[in-house]
Structure 1
Amino acid sequence: MISQKTIDKIFSTIRVEEIIGEYVQLKRAGSNFKGLSPFHEEKTPSFVVSPSKQIWKDFSSGKGGTAITFLMEIEGFTYPEALRHAAKKYGIEIEEDQVEYSEEQKKAQSEREILYKIHEVANTFFQENLWETEEGKTIALSYFKERELHDDIIKKFQLGYSPEKKNAFTEYALAKGYEKEILEKSGISIFPENSPSGIDRFRERVIFPIHSFSGRVLGFGARILKSNVKTAKYLNSPETEIYHKSNVLYGLNQSKQAISRENLCLLVEGYMDVISLHQSGIENVVASSGTALTTEQIKLIKRLTENVTILFDGDAAGIKASFRSIDMLLSEGMNIRVVLFPDGDDPDSFARKNPRDFVEDFIKNQAKDFIDFKAEILLKEANNDPIKKAEAIRDIVKSIGFVSNALKQEVYLKQVSTHFGLSEQSLFNELGVQKQVVQQQKPAEKREANVVKLEKVQEFTETINPLLVLEEKLVELMLKFGQFKLFRKTPDNENYETTVIEEIINHLEEDQYQPISPLNKRIIEEIKAGIQQNELRSSDFFKTFMDEEVVTKTADALINAHETSNWEKHNIYFSKEEELVDKIVKDVIIRHKREFVVKIINDLKHQISEENSAETYLKIINLTKLKNKIDENLFRIL
Structure 2
Amino acid sequence: MDEVAQIRERIDIVSFISEYIPLKKMGRNFKAICPFHNEKTPSFVVSPERQIWHCFGGCSKGGDVYTFLMEYENLEFVEALRILAKRTGIQLRQSDFQAGVSGKKEMIYKINKAALDFYHYVLTKHKAGKKALGYLVEERKLDERLIETFMIGFSPKDGVDLSNYLINKKKYKKEDLIEAGLAFYGRGPSTGSGQAGVLDFFRGRVMFPLFDHRDNVVGFSGRAILEPYSGGKYINTRDTLVYHKGSMFFGLNTAKEEIKKLDKAIIVEGELDVISCFSIGVKNVVAVKGTALTENQVALISRFTNNICLCFDKDDAGYEAAKRSLLVLEKKGMNITTCIFEESKDADEAIKKDPISFKKAIKKDVPIYDFIFSKTFSAFEKDKIYGKRKISEELLPIFTKISNEIVKEHYLKKLSLDLDISLDAIAKEVEKIEKKEVIKEEIKEAKIEKKERKEVLEDYLLALILQNGNAKKILDRCLAILKNYEFKTVSYEKIINFLVDYFKSSNTFNPKIFLKVLPKELETAFDTQYLFPLPKFEDEEKYILESEKVAAELRTLFLKERIKKISLKLKTGDRDADVKKVGDLEKELASTISLLSKA
- CA shift, 1:131, in A, is 3.9
Distance 1:359 1:476 in 2: 70
- CA shift, 1:98, in A, is 6.8
Moved more, 386-395 or 442-451: 442-451
After TM superposition, list the pairs within 5 Å mapping 1:72-111 onto structure 2: 72-86=70-84, 95=91, 97=93, 111=104
Moved more, 188-197 or 429-438: 188-197
Distance 1:263 1:476 in 2: 52
Flag structure 2 segments of 5+ consecutive residues without an equivalent: 188-193, 460-486, 541-599
Give the counterpart of 2:173 among 176, 179, 186. Answer: 179
Distance 2:415 2:90 in 1: 59
SS at match of 1:340: coil
- CA shift, 1:159, in A, is 2.5
Distance 2:399 2:176 in 1: 47
The 3 A distance-change label for structure 1 pair 281 and 410 is: same
Is contact 1:157–1:209 with CA below 8 Å preserved after alignment? Answer: yes
Q: Deviations over 1:314-351 (max 9, x none)?
A: 22342244333333433443332222213125222334
Residue in structure 2 matched with residue 26 of structure 1 by the alignment: 22
* Cα RMSD for the two superposed structures: 4.6
Number of aligned residue pairs: give it.
501
Return the structure number with greater relative CO, CA threshold 8 A, min gap 6: 1
Residue in structure 2 matched with residue 395 of structure 1 by the alignment: 394
The 3 A distance-change label for structure 1 pair 505 and 19 is: closer
- CA shift, 1:278, in A, is 3.1
SS at match of 1:191: strand
Is contact 1:215–1:253 with CA below 8 Å preserved after alignment? Answer: yes
Residue in structure 1 matched with residue 421 of structure 2 by the alignment: 422
Distance 1:157 1:284 in 2: 14
Residue in structure 2 matched with residue 269 of structure 1 by the alignment: 269
Residue in structure 1 matched with residue 330 of structure 2 by the alignment: 330
The 3 A distance-change label for structure 1 pair 199 and 15 is: farther
Residue in structure 1 matched with residue 299 of structure 2 by the alignment: 299
Distance 2:367 2:278 in 1: 23
Distance 2:268 2:364 in 1: 18
Is contact 1:222–1:236 with CA below 8 Å preserved after alignment? Answer: yes
- CA shift, 1:573, in A, is 10
The 3 A distance-change label for structure 1 pair 390 and 180 is: same
Q: Deviations over 1:447-473 (max 9, x none)?
A: 233657779759976225555335788
Is contact 1:313–1:343 with CA below 8 Å preserved after alignment? Answer: no
After TM superposition, list the pairs within 5 Å mapping 1:228-307 onto structure 2: 229=229, 231-307=231-307
Residue in structure 2 matched with residue 462 of structure 1 by the alignment: 488
Distance 2:385 2:101 in 1: 68
- CA shift, 1:200, in A, is 0.9
Distance 1:472 1:250 in 2: 54
Moved more, 337-346 or 56-65: 56-65
Moved more, 389-398 or 176-185: 176-185
Distance 2:515 2:418 in 1: 72
After TM superposition, list the pairs within 5 Å mapping 1:236-635 onto structure 2: 236-351=236-351, 359-370=358-369, 372-383=370-381, 385-441=384-440, 443-449=442-448, 457=456, 462-464=488-490, 468-470=494-496, 515=518, 517-518=520-521, 560=531
SS at match of 2:386: helix
Is contact 2:115–2:162 with CA below 8 Å preserved after alignment? Answer: yes
Flag structure 1 segments of 5+ consecutive residues without an equivalent: 478-487, 490-498, 509-514, 521-548, 576-638
Residue in structure 2 matched with residue 541 of structure 1 by the alignment: none
Distance 1:230 1:99 in 2: 43
- CA shift, 1:151, in A, is 4.2
Residue in structure 1 matched with residue 38 of structure 2 by the alignment: 41
SS at match of 1:81: helix
One-letter code of the match for 1:171?
N
Distance 2:452 2:267 in 1: 38
The 3 A distance-change label for structure 1 pair 262 and 181 is: same
Distance 2:353 2:502 in 1: 62
The 3 A distance-change label for structure 1 pair 47 and 312 is: same
Is contact 1:264–1:308 with CA below 8 Å preserved after alignment? Answer: yes
SS at match of 1:312: coil
Residue in structure 1 matched with residue 119 of structure 2 by the alignment: 126
SS at match of 1:462: coil
The 3 A distance-change label for structure 1 pair 229 and 48 is: same
SS at match of 2:119: helix
One-letter code of the match for 1:318?
G
- CA shift, 1:221, in A, is 0.7
Distance 1:50 1:505 in 2: 15
**TM-score, length of structure 2 as denominator length:** 0.69
Q: Deviations over 1:450-509 (max 9, x none)?
A: 6577797599762255553357889999xxxxxxxxxx99xxxxxxxxx97997699x5x
Moved more, 200-209 or 252-261: 252-261
Distance 1:334 1:476 in 2: 50
- CA shift, 1:245, in A, is 1.5
SS at match of 1:259: helix
One-letter code of the match for 1:190?
F
Distance 2:232 2:107 in 1: 29
Is contact 1:267–1:309 with CA below 8 Å preserved after alignment? Answer: yes
SS at match of 2:186: coil
- CA shift, 1:397, in A, is 1.0
Distance 1:83 1:174 in 2: 30
Distance 2:378 2:96 in 1: 72
One-letter code of the match for 2:180?
S
Distance 1:462 1:235 in 2: 54
